[in-house]
A and B are shown apart, each in its own frame.
Chain A
Amino acid sequence: MSEALLYFIQQLINGLTIGSAYALIAIGYTMVYGIIGMINFAHGEIYMIGAYTALIAITGLATLGVAWLPLILLVALICAVIVSSAMGWAVERVAYRPVRGRHRLIPLISAIGMSIFLQNYVHLAQGSRNIGFPLLIEGGFDFGSADTFRASLSYMQLTVFVTTFICMSALSLFISRSRIGRACRAVSQDLGMANLLGIDTNRIIAATFVIGAALAAVAGLLLGMYYGSIDPLFGFIAGLKAFTAAVLGGIGSIPGAMLGGLILGVSESMTSGYLSGEYKDVVSFGLLILILLFKPTGLLGKPEVEKI
């Protein structure tokens, strides 16, 4: 295979990896928006907290002398999911539920305040400098026999793909088969009606936040290992990008979040690989603006009609 093709494939692999992780975070945004029509500004911070918790768990286990990798990863995952889910629940209860239903600006500003609060919470607790995250899953396989450039698919990347796939499938099954999943769908379509039918909408909304937070925690662990370092502010940008992905795919649509995430990840890595790493954020934001201008309902979303 030619070097150019290999390079392209490498960018593609990198892009799909990051894209999968974005998709996991994007689910949180899309579910919350689908159910209560608001942007959870603090979701990026929940992802960040998941990453920090995972790191704390990993480091703690290492200090205790635990060396078996699957155990470390499992414990880190569980800890991250628990803490992030709890945080997600708390954020909804404290900052969103009291202001639900008011004029649109108010929940948004509350969310921004929450985001700032959480960033500084972790900043105060763990310092503002970035901390290295160990890459626990090393190695991979290379392909292509060119002497100068070899494309590689690392085991870490593979892990990201597989984990994301499992999570997505589990989520889809959950939404379509389980009682809570059905209730989620009902509430997202008509809150008032769901209430009248006896569904405890408060609990369902809380459940939505928790599910989104859990997935974000998984992404936190995965991307923490993948990028190799974390800091209290990195959730903000990741959150924005994940939101872009959600909008790209069609806000409110879970397959849309997946699609949007992948597209975003690939365009970012292509920009990084072929133009310049510094402008990749510009590309992400540019995509967001373009989508909102020309197809605000996203690729898989349904067009809305204003009821007069």
Chain B
Amino acid sequence: MSNALPTAAELAERLAQGSLSASQLVAQCLDTIAERDGSLNVFLSVEDRQAALQQAEAVDRRRGSGEQAGLLAGLPVAIKDNICHAGRKTTCASRMLAEYEPPYDATVVEKLRDAGAVIVGRTNLDEFAMGGSTENSHFGPTRNPWNTDHVPGGSSGGAAAAVAAEMVPLSLGSDTGGSIRQPAALCGVTGLKPTYGRVSRYGLVAFASSLDQIGPITRDARDAAMMLQAIAGHDERDSTSADVPVPDYLAAIEQPLAGLKIGVLREQLSGDIDPKVKAAIEAALAVLEAQGATLVDVLLPHSKYAVATYYVISASEASSNLARYDGAHYGYRTDERAMREALRREEAELKAAGKDAAVAQLDSPLVRMYRVSRSEGFGLEVQRRIMLGTYALSAGYYDAYYRKALQVRRLIRQDYDTAFAQVDLLAGPVTATTAFKIGEKSEDPLSMYLVDLFTVGANLAGIPAMSVPCGFSSNGLPIGLHLQAPAFEEARLLRVGHQYQQVTDWHTRRPALS
């Protein structure tokens, strides 16, 4: 077997035929991880080799005894380190949760296990999924397999790089404002953000609850269909999960594109966009047209407010969701002795200076513990967003920020409703540029936020969206085509992606790695 890792569908076929065993496959993936992770920093933890191999052997045995194998039986899977897996460190790439082990499994972890998948490790991310480059990780940045000087995108940078670097065929990410699609685009793999409510969020460590959604990052659209099939569906433990039947995605993707009407987000192709990206997207649209789709230009009038709206809503929810990390119950707590010592010293200094009023204002030990634990446990980007959100929800500012953002969010949804009354699907670029260099934007949070420009709309509207590899820039870095569909029309996205991938080979390209 060559070093190249086939798609999950191809691997599943070989496993079914018996020309490959799950143990062999898992061993190969673990070997590749061991070999490549040193230079890429994709995994925050790798499953114990013996334990993973035992799981694989169990799958092989079951298959050998003629038992019905699950949809993902024997396939190695990586999951983003913000999805709870009982007894495994679930760090969210934060110092705050560096030692935290959840006592329960996320619903998606249960579903993967039920489908026979073998979880081989947990991938790096921007701390608490806040970021677009995987540089905001307490455990160091992940590197883009196509060029290790560049970022893999984020926040699911590890998840995308794991597939791009052929460490695993399948990986799970989460997408709050583009965190699956953007790294998928920047790493040349396929990433799908399902409809809000399509996949249970139970066990996904919340960043922004009304926007978060778990989804697959895979080699191609067929693999994404397979993985979505395994994880989608209603979950009683998530009140926001939708009780909508899950269609047969693998059957749906076989339907040709004739008669499909695609709306082109022309606005996103003009203005500040890398000409190579623009050319790649236009070429991809031409391919779709040649396959029988019709193209019309479509405008989303309120999309210019999407990033601002997104940052108000996501930061507001984050400020609340992250309040639980207070050092009192679990997670990081500052050194209490040093904290109390500092308090005593401050008190003595203030008293000596005769500042009695200031002494009265001094933190209680509890409040000081909260302050210091959170200052030390969270990285700067997380702290920035907590502050933004706290401000936006404060009395006197709520109406101007949070309420206003909810109103604009409704307008953005209406834009999509109007657009989908005319077309079946929307197409455009995932990002305006290819992967930037590590460190390039880290001193400029605002330019980093603008990376989300094309992707946040789908989260605000709750609709499914996908990134499909559609070319490379002159610097050799991948480009992604962004497809968006009406709610619960993942099948339509997967079908377009799959049909496109039948006539193109961008998704089959592998980075040259040692």
Note whether A and B form a binding pair: no
Interface residues of B (CB under 8 A from A): none
Interface residues of A (CB under 8 A from B): none
